[in-house]
């Protein structure tokens, strides 16, 4: 079953932003969001700011689309948070950073959408590759307001457990900095 399409009607914050940018249907919104360059926005909880800022991350892109369905009372689309073993094979662009720190992978917190048990990832324009899904270690449904501090705290707790379990030679702050270098590499990569 595929995500249903619908006409965007005015009167709600995220819907109004899409309409201002001449986006009239949910499928048009998906294409608009997916084609935005990868990059962070100042306030991830200002849904729709990805359109005005012209960039977004996995969290902001998917939370914005989820909020758009919520504004139209379209139910069944879920915002998901997964921890997966990110490496060069499943996330091209991070390999050099991982090699630099002698890490085979980075435990990454990734946000995406699910509808009828199908995964939809609109993080990158060119990406139709879902090989990262084979590396999912845990997954949970979250609310749109959990893409900020909640996601970061959850991710850091997973990294702290990984450090202890595998006796990694890094502190939590060091490992999170390495993770940030991986994200920066993704932001600078031209193909995904």
The whole-number pLDDT of residue 128 equals 66
Q: What are the C-alpha distances in Å from 191 to residues 50, 89, 128, 155?
A: 20, 13, 12, 26
User: What backbone torsions phi and psi does residue 172 show, to the nearest 5 degrees?
Assistant: -60, -45
Given this model, what pLDDT does residue 158 score? 97
Residues 159 and 175 sit within 8 Å (Cβ to Cβ): yes
Q: Which residues of 50-84 are buried (b: 16+ CB within 10 A; e: fewer)?
A: bbebebbbbbbbbbbbbbbbbbbebeebbbbbbbb
Measured distance CA(47)–CA(161) in Å, rounded:
31
DSSP strands (E only) in 35-171: 77-86, 106-115, 118-120, 136-142
Whole-number pLDDT of residue 127: 63
Query: Which residue is associated with the tokens 């969001």?
Result: 33
Task: Give the angle 11-75-14 at the CA atoms, nearest 5°.
Answer: 30
What is the pLDDT, as a whole number, of residue 36? 94
Task: Report, as ranges of residue numbers, the positions in the chain whose pLDDT lies below 50.
Answer: 190-192
Question: What single string gives the DSSP state of each residue in 37-81?
Answer: PB---S-TTSTTHHHHHT-B-HHHHHHHHHHHHHHTT---EEEEE
Other C-beta atoms closer than 10 Å to the C-beta of 162 total 19
The candidate with the shortest Cα–Cα distance to 4, out of 25, 22, 24, is 25
């Amino acid at each position: 079953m595929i995500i249903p399409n619908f006409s965007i009607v005015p009167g709600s914050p995220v819907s109004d932003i899409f309409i201002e940018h001449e986006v009239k249907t949910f499928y048009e919104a998906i294409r608009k969001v997916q084609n935005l360059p990868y990059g962070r926005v100042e306030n991830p909880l200002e849904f729709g700011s990805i359109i005005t800022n012209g960039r977004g991350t996995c969290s902001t892109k998917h939370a914005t689309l989820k909020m758009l369905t919520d504004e139209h009372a379209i139910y069944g689309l879920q915002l998901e948070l997964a921890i997966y073993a990110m490496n060069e094979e499943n996330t091209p662009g991070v390999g050099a950073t991982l090699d630099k720190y002698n890490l085979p992978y980075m435990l990454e917190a990734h946000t995406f959408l699910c509808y009828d048990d199908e995964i939809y990832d609109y993080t990158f324009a060119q990406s139709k590759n879902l090989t990262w899904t084979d590396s999912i270690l845990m997954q949970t449904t979250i609310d749109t307001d959990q893409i900020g501090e909640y996601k970061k705290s959850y991710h850091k707790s997973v990294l702290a457990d990984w450090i202890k379990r595998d006796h990694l030679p890094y502190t939590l702050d060091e490992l999170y900095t390495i993770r940030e270098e991986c994200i920066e590499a993704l932001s600078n990569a031209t193909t995904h």
